[in-house]
Chain A
Amino acid sequence: MTAISSPTINRRRFLQLSLQLSGSISTLLLFPALPGCTFFKHPTLLSARNDVDNKHWCVSYSLDGTEHFRTEVPQRCHDVLQHPSLPLALFVARRPGTHCYLIDTRNGNLLQTLTARNNRHFYGHGIFDHDGTLYLTENDTTEPGRGVLGIYHWRDNLLQFSDEISTHGIEPHQFVWLPDNAGFAIANGGIRTEAGSRTALDETIESSLVFMKKNGELISKETLSNGNSIRHIASAADGTIVTAQQFSANNNGAATLLAIKKPGGMLEPFPVDTETEIQLQAYSASVAIHSANRWLAVTAPRGNRLLLWHLDSGKPLLDVAVQDCAGITSTADGFIVSSGEGGCRSVQQQAGLISVTPLPLPAGGWDNHLILTT
């Protein structure tokens, strides 16, 4: 494959891209916001949601509770990706979904439904490169579980498949940039599933944390000794990586909820006391790092708890009950946390104490991840 360059978009490139687009997306660009401008005056939350009738929605809210859009979509989504320069967001279907929905974040209009290729389905996660190139984790169902990154470029106003590269592992989920965008750190969950199925094919778990270049070249591959499934991942500004695991009944009761890989170091368990791991049923939904505060946060919906530690010392900082908590993202002064059952929460440090405050957002149905636009 051809290596994809990732220049930071500039005004000229932006206008070129605008002119290249036509139809619905170019309509979107009739009044484009230029680089440096902010599409959202205030931080805006984007997430997938379900309602009590099990309908699936792509939603956007301000943190004061103002709804910006609520767009119904056919498939349940998982993570959300913000385009680096345009008012676009991509909502990615979870395993074994076959849709991604490109949404105009100014009004919620569905601009494109990106459909998985034959013998592929999505795993709920992706990354936009700075030039708008899209990478999505996918399952090669001709060889169930074989992980690939699908690469999509903009052509004829649409995100279109260009190429794919191996993730060097089974069942890739979330991935993040390595420092300086030199490549990706990928959480390979290690469980094989077939097309259209969420059920494991067998009892083996071949989970791994893979570092790879954007051209697909493997940099490193590490595993956890107890075989827990690495699903989610977060990175700090200094390149520290934390992975969050999900317990599978197949791994004989052994469980490591979190693991950490410091720059230049090996992947190793992050210290969580055994009682807490049992309480959380060794199941995490999302993980986030607040780089400035050196905070590590994890949501544990089976244990109904939100936990914070100091990233470097491992000192526990917070352990509070939050029903079915799942989505989490860092903010300037802490985190925003969502819930599948209850309301969302803001986590902030005030006068030396970490406080958790309810947000005036609708309760329940918030899916596994959320992002806060900037």
Chain B
Amino acid sequence: MRSSLLARFSWTALCAALTACAPPTPEQNAITAIYKTMTPHYAQWREASAAFSVTSNNFCHDKNTLAEARNSWQQAMLAWTGVQAFPAGPINDKNYATQVTYWPDPKNLVAFQIEARLKNDTPIALAESSVALRGLTAAEYILFDQSHDLTQTATRQRYCPLLLAIGIYQTNFSSSTEKEWLEFSKKIAKFPNDRFANAQEVVTEFLRVQVTMLDGLGKHLQEPLKSGHAQIYQLEYWRSGQTQAGLHAAIKMDEALWHNGWRALAAAKDEDLVTSIDQTYTALLGNIAPVSLQPLSVSITTTEGLAWIRNRQSELHMLDTLYGRALAKTLGVQIGFNANDGD
């Protein structure tokens, strides 16, 4: 009896000391699931960035073909898209996205700044250069733009120093950002801390980030049509023809976060909402499958292409609304109350 009481006392004392003894709440489970879903993508991004750097170096030394260099760029871009789809933590806090992609670029600053920089014969220090020169958008210009021919040796010699600098910069940047993401785990595991008071604040932060990204994906399709006529260069990744591939990768990531994290939270409160979001993802991903379409940078000028964009915008808007209004309300969250509707 005494030993039983002692054991119970010890267990109680231990539980008091370690909050981990308490069973995790549904919110904590969702947070953990979302974090664990994202973490491997940071590693993939780091690895793909390093591989891109190596392939670029090989290409510049005639050991890899242009097609191989382009393919390596595409892998890095898709890996980054997976990370960018949920930029909670360091990427959002420090506005890191501009270090990797430069979009929108209505004045074609990427091309302008690269050409201006290459006229200057001094060594390239990207950390001190414009963000337009540092990322995958600049590398895309070098590898894909029709204004120059990289199969020519002289052209390669002109662009390779910058391409190699971008590869190294992206390798280091993806590596340091992954470390910051791993550090961020401390902020979402134990409360209160200097960032979050409790798990509900993390849920709010994560949901806002996801809603903002869904809204952003819609804008990626809207931006090229804003002036009333199609502006191809306002599409992201228009030079490589990878607009749909990027969009598809982002929404796939988004769907993974839904299935692994948000879905269980929502299912406990609103089964109909779960069904609606499931169906919207199925329709959207089915319609956006990249292999069956010609590049958007080509089809955007056609009636069919425009209709395709309008339909995807509509599906993205539906998803955005389901998250930002219905799911937010179900979870008792207000998103961007002052940021979006302040005064």
A residues sitting closer than 8 Å to B (CB atoms) are 50-53, 78, 94-95, 123-124, 173, 198, 231, 246, 275, 278-279, 283, 285, 301-302, 304, 320-321, 323-326, 340-343, 356-358, 363-368
A324 contact set on B, CB distance < 8 A: 208, 336-339
Task: Give the residue among A301, A356, A357, A366 with the most B Cβ atoms within 10 A.
Answer: A301
Tell me the B72-110 residues at the A interface (CB within 8 Å).
92-95
With A231-B343, A364-B334, A368-B343 as known contacts, state yes or no: A321 contacts B93, CB within 8 Å. Answer: yes
Contact A364 B204 (CB under 8 A): yes
Nearest residue in B to A355 (C-beta to C-beta)?
A: B194
A-B contact pairs, 20 of them (CB 8 A): A50-B334, A52-B328, A52-B334, A231-B343, A279-B94, A279-B95, A285-B342, A301-B339, A304-B92, A321-B93, A323-B201, A324-B336, A340-B334, A340-B339, A342-B197, A342-B201, A343-B197, A356-B194, A358-B197, A358-B198
Q: Quick one: closest A residue to B339, CB to CB?
A: A301
Minimum C-beta distance from B259 to chain A (A): 25
The residue on A at minimum CB distance from B330 is: A52
Q: How large is the interface on B (under 10, 10 to 19, 20 to 34, 35 or more residues)?
A: 20 to 34
Decide if A340 touches B197 in the complex (CB within 8 Å).
no
Q: Is the CB of A94 within 8 A of B334?
A: no
Residues in B with CB closer than 8 Å to A323 are 201, 204-205, 208
Q: Which A-B residue pairs are the 4 nearest by beta carbons?
A: A340-B337, A358-B197, A326-B338, A301-B339
B192, B198, B329: the one contacting A52 at CB < 8 Å is B329
B333 within 8 A of A: yes
Specify the main secondary structure of chain B where it touches its partner.
loop
Q: Is the CB of A341 within 8 A of B337?
A: yes
> How far, in whole Å, are A324 and B328 apart by their CA atoms in the complex?
15
Q: Is B29 an interface residue (CB 8 A)?
A: no
> Does B124 touch A at the CB level, under 8 Å?
no
In the complex the two chains form, is B343's CB within 8 Å of A95's CB?
yes
**Min CB gap B129→A, angstroms:** 14
Q: Are A326 and B195 in contact (CB under 8 A)?
A: no
The chain A residue with its CB closest to the CB of B192 is A358
Q: Which of B95, B192, B200, B338 counts the most A-chain CB atoms under 10 A from its CB?
A: B338
Contact of B337 among A50, A95, A198 (CB under 8 A): A50
> Cβ of B343 and Cβ of A78 under 8 Å apart?
yes
Complex-state Cα separation, A217 to B101, whole angstroms? 53
